[in-house]
Amino acid sequence: MLASSTPGRSRRLNKTQKLSVAGVSALGAAALAFSLVPAEAGAETSTQALTAAPVVVADGAPQARTVQASIIEQHSTAESLVKAADAARAKAAAAKAKTAAQAKAKAEAAADAKARAAAAAKAKADAKKRSSQAASRSVARKPVYANNLDGWIREALAIMKEKGIPGTYHGLHKNIMRESSGNPRAINNWDINAINGVPSKGLLQVIKPTFDFYHVAGTPKDQYDPVANITAAANYAADKYGSIDNVNSAY
């Protein structure tokens, strides 16, 4: 307390000074009240604390409302920041989930493509294996004919069937026996063909020009070859007589 200039008397505060002191005290009380309000308290609690201690400073302006508005504004700003942070976290989580989903989809697509490629390769390998097995069975089923008259006739008949040349086992056999007695090396050196320099040869006694003209592809070009001789003669007989079965004498 300041000493008075007049000894023994105390200086009294004028009206303006009193109001200033009252204002400062009220502001201090208001600040103390705000510091005691819990963080989660709403604007209503803060408003009640402020209205409980109205403050008027020297110029007479109501400062309590200004302080209350500032606190409400700060609270609103804090809520906005919290909401913005939550929104950012949600956006980041959504982006992360989207990236993970895309990576999963890509991995699944790659796995599916790999599985399809493996299945296609397996199918191709299986088809090749089946083809090879079929070829092997075909080779295994190919008949092996005996190297004798019966075998030659049967092999010739198989070729004739493939080429569409008519004839039967009986028709071939009877003409072979009459012409050469089953001797594939038989040759006629005394008939008119022999005199003309083109003797008849082989199982069915075919001359060279006839053999060459009616030769069946796939057989040896040799008059003495049993199968080639039979098929060429049967081809000739089919052209001239309809079938070797229709030949009952020299032809």
Pick the closest to residue 239 from 171, 153, 165, 161 (CA basis): 165
Q: For residues 26 and 34, give the distance between their C-alpha atoms in angstroms, rounded to a whole number.
A: 12
Q: Reduced to 3 states, what is the DSSP secondary structure of residue 220?
A: coil
- What pLDDT, on a 0 to 100 scale, did the predictor assign at position 136? 67
Distances, alpha carbon 200 to alpha carbons 219, 221, 233, 235, in Å: 19, 15, 11, 16
* 74-102 confidence digits (pLDDT tens): 778 888 888 888 889 989 999 999 999 99
Q: Which residues of the chain have pLDDT under 50?
A: 1-11, 13-60
CB 37 within 8 A of CB 49: yes
- What pLDDT, on a 0 to 100 scale, did the predictor assign at position 54? 47
- What pLDDT, on a 0 to 100 scale, did the predictor assign at position 40? 44
In terms of C-beta density within 10 A (0-12 exposed, 13-18 middle, 19 or more buried), how is residue 175 classed? buried
- What pLDDT, on a 0 to 100 scale, did the predictor assign at position 62? 59
- What pLDDT, on a 0 to 100 scale, did the predictor assign at position 132? 80
CB 228 within 8 A of CB 222: yes
Q: Reduced to 3 states, what is the DSSP secondary structure of residue 217?
A: coil
- What pLDDT, on a 0 to 100 scale, did the predictor assign at position 152? 97
- What pLDDT, on a 0 to 100 scale, did the predictor assign at position 78? 81
- What pLDDT, on a 0 to 100 scale, did the predictor assign at position 51? 45
Count other C-beta atoms under 10 Å from residue 160's C-beta. 21
- What pLDDT, on a 0 to 100 scale, did the predictor assign at position 61? 52
